[in-house]
Amino acid sequence: MTGPEPLVRPSIDAPPPAVILVRPQLGMNIGAVARAMLNFGLTDLRLVQPRDGWPNADAGPSAVGADIVLDGATVHDSLADACKGLTLVLATAMDTRDMTRRVVTPTQAVKEFIALPAGGGLVFGPERTGLVRADLLQCHAICTIPSNPDFGSLNLAQSVAVLGYEWVRQRHDGLAETVINHPGPALHNELQDLITAIDAKLAEHGYYSPEEGRAAAAKRMMINMFTRPQFSGEEVRSLRGIVRGLVAPRANRARPTQPSS
Amino acid sequence: MTGPEPLVRPSIDAPPPAVILVRPQLGMNIGAVARAMLNFGLTDLRLVQPRDGWPNADAGPSAVGADIVLDGATVHDSLADACKGLTLVLATAMDTRDMTRRVVTPTQAVKEFIALPAGGGLVFGPERTGLVRADLLQCHAICTIPSNPDFGSLNLAQSVAVLGYEWVRQRHDGLAETVINHPGPALHNELQDLITAIDAKLAEHGYYSPEEGRAAAAKRMMINMFTRPQFSGEEVRSLRGIVRGLVAPRANRARPTQPSS
């Protein structure tokens, strides 16, 4: 490779951002944050002046097993202390409170985190009030989750979940958006045999209109309906049985030569 | 316009998906779901056999004002009944439980919802167990939120929040990922005057190395640091004051001719 390198190379090994809770109020919410973090592979939890001290017995139950996050949480006297060792620090807020800051979407925030040479941080304010100006002043930019303008106040742990999801979503970018949990379509001739059998029985039963155009349309629709779903071989064989079952009761029809299951 | 139309036209007016909770256990969680829904503009909540009946007094507090969603919630005896009037119905689950179904990411799910001519639905199982096979069997495909393979079980309301966020994210696609909350960069000459003033004072104080290359590098770094932040006019004027303040105590320097603020 002799071509120019991109100016910023997103690192596949970029560390996930730290989550910094400033003056969190309820232990239950700290636990729910820990769970949401671990759901999306974030583990670095930093608490600034938690209202009820730390550890907090209310955090465990709502963490539902995310003990590794709670046990590793660090406690700090100030936001500045909690940000030590981090580079890009983003405040989550609904508005900029008159700070002159860039306001970025979660999509943009994660793009920037991925491009960092060292870890970034996401700062969340107290449940009731959010971050105050003195907190925002210490952050490089503000990250706002797009939401209903008339009902935009998100639950703390849900905000963490949304940003954690965005972190995972972008790092999984390029993975298939759709996976087919399916043995794959039947052999083409198996499907055609089914369609031919259905067509023959319908013709025999006078299903098709005597009018040629309408008969052709009805036949096309039948073929479409059985072709589009990409039935597997097993399903096509099951449909053959269903067709036989519709045509006549079991006692009245010849037994299939293949063994019944 | 005489060119061919796209095969599927995403509608800007596509209705948000309905949220269907199958056998939800805790009223508190139903309320938290309602809040997450309204945060992202979803309002159609359908409850299938809620364990503790409906209405449920525990739902209100955790809805934190999303009464419009709770009041409009409908109760159903079966998932099939809850899906009436919907088209594409997606089950949220961690795996397909042996159903032959497409498994889609939230990104893909929302793409498909946006392309629908009528409303789709998202089905969520009970908190403890998730959806059972009989539920999945009735859904067209399965939506799985990408998460930590070792700790993937998401809180119910957080799952709703992630999908609601994805709904808003894609519909907001094309909006700026970054907004500059800022009056805009100063006039170029204002900034240059500041840089010239700093440079002159540094030279006067013997800051620059006698070695020519190092002096040039130091000057370049100073210019970079003051140019890159796109300081506003007000900030450049403030910086002029800061530079003066650094150079000498107020009493020792000439008063500025402009009025002080």
How much is the pLDDT for A3?
A: 45
Taking the CB of residue A194, how many other CB atoms lie within 10 A of it? 20
In angstroms, rounded to a whole number, what is the distance separating the alpha carbons of residues A45 and A39? 14
How much is the pLDDT for B252?
A: 58
Q: Is B183 on the interface with A (CB under 8 A)?
A: yes
Q: Is B112 on the interface with A (CB under 8 A)?
A: no
A166 chain-B contacts, CB cut-off 8 A: 165
Per-residue pLDDT of chain A (261 residues; tens, 9 = 90+): 344 444 444 455 778 999 999 999 999 999 999 999 999 999 999 999 999 999 999 999 999 999 999 999 999 999 999 999 988 999 999 877 777 788 899 999 999 998 887 889 999 999 999 999 899 988 989 999 999 999 999 999 999 999 999 999 998 766 677 777 677 788 889 999 999 999 999 999 889 988 888 899 999 999 988 988 888 899 999 999 899 888 888 765 555 555 544
The residue among B69, B40, B19 whose CA lies nearest residue B162 is: B40
In angstroms, rounded to a whole number, what is the distance separating the alpha carbons of residues B247 and B205? 10
Q: Check pLDDT > 60 for residue B153.
A: yes
pTM over 0.80: yes
Torsion of CA A134, A43, A162, B85, to 10 degrees: -150
B38 chain-A contacts, CB cut-off 8 A: 148, 151
In angstroms, rounded to a whole number, what is the distance separating the alpha carbons of residues A101 and B50? 46
B152 chain-A contacts, CB cut-off 8 A: 39
- N-terminal to C-terminal alpha carbon distance within chain B: 59
Q: Which residues of A116-138 are buried (b: 16+ CB within 10 A; e: fewer)?
A: beebbbbbbbbbeebbeeebbee
Closest-approach residue (CA) in chain B for A235: B100
How much is the pLDDT for A118?
A: 82
Q: Check pLDDT > 80 for residue B186.
A: yes
Q: What is the pLDDT of residues B95-108, one digit of tens each?
A: 777 777 888 999 99
Segment B61-77 shows an average pLDDT of 96
In angstroms, rounded to a whole number, what is the distance separating the alpha carbons of residues A61 and A177? 34
Structural tokens at position A57: 């017995």
DSSP element (H, E) containing A76: strand A74-76
Closest in A39, A155, A169 to B154, CB measured: A39
For CA atoms B168, B174, B177, B179, the dihedral sign is negative
Q: What is the pLDDT of residues B190-210, one digit of tens each?
A: 999 999 999 999 999 889 988
Segment B58-79 shows an average pLDDT of 96
Edge-to-edge, what's the strand order for the sheet holding B45-48? A178-181, B101-104, B141-143, B89-92, B121-124, B18-22, B45-48, B74-76
Closest in B38, B101, B107 to A169, CB measured: B107
Sequence-distant (≥ 6) Cβ neighbours of residue B120 within 8 angstroms? B17, B18, B86, B87, B88, B89, B90, B112, B113
